[in-house]
Structure formats: C-alpha cells, structure tokens
Amino acid sequence: MITRRAIVLAAGKGTRMKTDLPKCAFPILKKPMIEYIVENIEKSIIDETVMVIGHKREVFEEMLNGRVDFVYQEDQLGTGHATMMASDKLAGKSGSTIILLGDMPLINNKVINKIMNAHENSNNDLTVVTTHFDNPKGYGRIIRNQYDRITAIIEDLDCTKEQKQVKEVNTGIYVVNNQLLFDILPKIEKSRRKGEYYLTDIVALLQEDYHVGTFVMRDAFRVMGVNDLYAISVAEQCMRDEINKQHMLNGVSIINPDTVTIGHNVIIESGVTIQPNTTITGESKIMEGATIGPNSEIHNSIIYRDVAVKHSIVYDSKVQSRSTIGPFAHLRNNAVIGPDNRIGNFVEVKKSTTGAFTKASHLAYIGDTTTGSNVNFGCGSVTVNFDGQKKHQTTIGNDVFIGCNTNLIAPITIGDQVFIAAGSTVTKNVPKGALAIARNQQINKEDYTKHLIRPKTNSK
C-alpha cells in the first residue's frame, strides 16, 4: 500500500482580501474556508496531512489542533517556497502527495479521491489538475506543445497577450511522486517579476525527463480559488445552491431559495417549510412539520415538530413541539421553550426554561427564569434578573397569571396558581394560590379637573 499525503498551503496573508483575518480562515456560511478543506481531506483516501501556515498562524493552530501536522513559513515567498517548508517532515519518503491550496473551499472528498486515483492509474510522475474558465483572469495558464502535452504554467502577470487568451488554467492542485517533489523544489528559481518561488515551475522543470500529465476537471466551480471578497460571495452562492438543492430533493420546501442560507451541518427533516430571507446555521436541527421564516435566523438550535418561527432570531436554544415564535421574538443563550408555547411580538427569552402551554404574547423579557406549565406573561412583564452586578434567578410554578407591566425582582419564587395584578413590582416570594398586588392604591379626587382644564375656544 502506498502512503497518500496532502500538503495544504495556507501561510499567505491574502492581501487581495483587504481584511485582517488571514484569507484561508475567512468564513463561508459562517465556517472558516480551511475547515471545509480539512474536513474533506479527512473523508478522503489521504493518510496524512501537512499544513503550511505563517501569517497569523495561531488562528489555524487553535482551529485545527490535532487534525493536521503544521509546518511554518516565516516569510511568504511564494507557493514553491511554502511547499519546501514541508521538506523536514516529508523529504525522502515514498508515496504520492497531493498539493492543495487553502483557498479552494468548494473542493470535496470525492474530487480528491478521483484525482488521486487518476494519478495512480496513470504513469505520471506529476499530474497537474487543470480546468477551463471563460474568464481565466488571475489564474496561471496551461501551456501545451503541439502534441498537446503540458510544458509549463505561466502566471497571469507573466503571460504574453497570446497566453492570456488560453482558457485552460492551473487549479493549483498537483499530485506528485513525493520523493521527486522534494528533489525538484530546491531547483525553483525566484520569479523576476514578483520575486517569489512559484510552485508552478515544477512543470517546466520536470516535463523533459519525467511524465507530466494533466487531469482536467469538468466542474470548474469546485476548484475556484478565492482571492478577494467578491470571490467569497461567489463561493458562498455555489455552496448555498448546492446545499439548498439537496434539502429540496430530501423533501424540504424552500420558498425563494436564493434568499435562504443553510449551513453545512444543519439537519432538516422532510416536511419542513423554509420561507424567504431565512438563515439556519451551526449545529441546528429542524424537525418535520416546522415552518421557519420569513425573515428569521436560527443558529445552533433545535426546532421540534410543527413549530412555527416567524420574523425571529433563535440562537443556542430549543423550541419544543407546536410552539409558535414571533413575529419579532428573540431567543438566546439556552432558552428552552416548552411545547405548545406562544412567544410573540417583541419578546426576548434568555437562559430560561418554560413549561408547556406558556404564553408571552407581547413585549416581555424573560431571563434566568424557570416556569412551570400554563404560565401567562402579560404584555410588558419583565423578570428583573440583573441588579447591576449579578444575575439572579426567577422561579415560577404552574398555572400562573402575570398581569401586564409586572416586574418580578429576582431572586424570587412565584408559587403555583398565583395571580399577579397588573402593574405590580413584586419583590417578595408569592405563595401558592395567592393574589399578589404590589402597586399604589388609586386615588380619585372628585370634581378636580374643572380647575385645570380650560374650555377650548376657537381663537383666531
């Protein structure tokens, strides 16, 4: 069995991105680009992965700790120089090595396997993966001789007018005999124009004495290189279309899918409807019969059967069966909404658990609270959980009615079957079955306003 290795080049800054974050760590559908590549290598037939990092290396070390072997490129002197950095780990070893760039997030494990197999089934010492783009600007061009054999790769900047017309481009993926790779790398010379060591030069260096072949990719989008923020949006669009299509084929109804973004790790059961302008990301799961959207954002959350979420935001939370959320509700930081709840207009729920049949239909804040079942929060009721320094807990029993505009000053416990009068500010625990009234008595001063209100005149 031959050993199959991958070298992933991710040391560059990504100057054309014009962002602080190193390019390969830039998120697409809220997940760093490089993670897609590593995930797909892990699923492929590759045995070992060496990743070259440099600019803001700590970002990658933290993100991919234990999943790849890191080597470092202190100064970013080009892709050839970056590959050389793996020499201490890999030089002299047998087997074949695939070189991948850290800025091709759409590559997948099937493509990696196909390329490896094609190389192994050919008698190539080096296989260059190429594709065709109608607009090849920015890519290295593939130069072939009269026998159609590849003889060189010329970078866009260095192309003559004629070479710029070539639509066959270098994807930046190569499979090469590992020993040969590290023998040839030191022979690359600095490019005159950019002063970099181009990995692409291995083609010209090997083509006379070795078998250099090509593997032509038909799905060009799979190997697109991301160099700027526009390309990020193109890659994101491709990914979004692919994910949405798969969900639709699985029986998920997506209305106006161009406006719906679903992350890679999201699970959606058949029979779910997703309305326009909706984003579902992270480790989220949406169960059968649920309707999400329009205009909603779900992240790291579980939505149970037959729930409806409209015009709302749900982060790191759970919503149990048949509950309705929104319009304009915000659930966050481990809100666990029980079954058959109604969390309505302008209601925020944070780090709280509600029992079945609980309702907060309008303008309420529920934070650090546990409720029993059948609790009604009147319009404008607030669990006052913060004293300026610490957060405190509110506990509410079953069958509780909380009148409009009530403040429950935590820490506080409200017993079962309690009724709290509207406008109360409740500072003491309320026992089971009680009516709590905590507001000033109303005083009516009879015959009073005639002294204050002047009759309306039609003054001109």
Q: Which residues carry out catalysis? A: 362
* CA gyration radius, the chain: 31
Nearer to ligand UD1, 127 or 376 (CB): 127
Q: Packing angle between helix 33-43 and helix 109-121, nearest 10 degrees?
A: 50
Shorter beta-carbon distance to Mg ion: residue 232 or 356: 232
User: Which residues inside 95-134 make contact with Mg ion, applying CB under 5 A?
Assistant: 103
Residue 55 near residue 81, CB atoms below 8 Å: no
Question: Is residue 225 within the footprint of ligand UD1 (CB under 6 A)?
Answer: yes
What are the beta bridge partners of residue 100? Answer: 8
| By CB under 6 A, residue 6 contacts ligand UD1 | no
* Interactions with ligand UD1, residue window 55-74 (CB under 6 A): 73
The one among 79, 97, 324, 369 contacting ligand UD1 by CB under 6 A: 79
Using rule CB under 5 A, residue 201 touches Mg ion? no
Residue number of the CB atom closest to Mg ion? 225
How far is Cα 329 from Cα 315, in angstroms, rounded to an integer? 11
The 3-state DSSP composition of the chain as helix, strand, coil percent (nearest 5) reads 20, 30, 45
78 binds ligand UD1 per the rule CB under 6 A: yes
CB of 85 or CB of 292, closer to ligand UD1: 85
Contact between 12 and ligand UD1 (CB under 6 A)?
yes
CB of 223 to Mg ion, least distance (A): 11
**CB neighbours (10 Å) of residue 27?**
14
Give the range of 113-121, 182-190, 221-229, 241-249 binding Mg ion by CB under 5 A.
221-229
Burial of 388 (0-12, 13-18, 19+ CB in 10 A): exposed
Any idea what the Cα angle at residue 186 is, between residues 180 and 188, rounded to 5°?
100
Q: Does 225 bind Mg ion (CB under 5 A)?
A: yes
Q: Which is nearer to ligand UD1, 26 or 304 (CB)?
A: 26
| 8 Å CB contact between 405 and 378 | yes
81, 119, 240, 285: which one binds ligand UD1 (CB under 6 A): 81
Taking the C-alpha atoms of residue 205 and residue 198, their distance in angstroms, rounded to an integer, is 12
Number of helices (H), then strands (E), in the chain: 9, 38
Q: Binders of ligand UD1 among 152-191, rule CB under 6 A?
A: 153, 155, 169-172
Residues of this chain that bind ligand UD1 (CB under 6 A): 9-12, 24, 52, 73, 76-79, 81-82, 101-103, 139-140, 153, 155, 169-172, 198-200, 225, 227
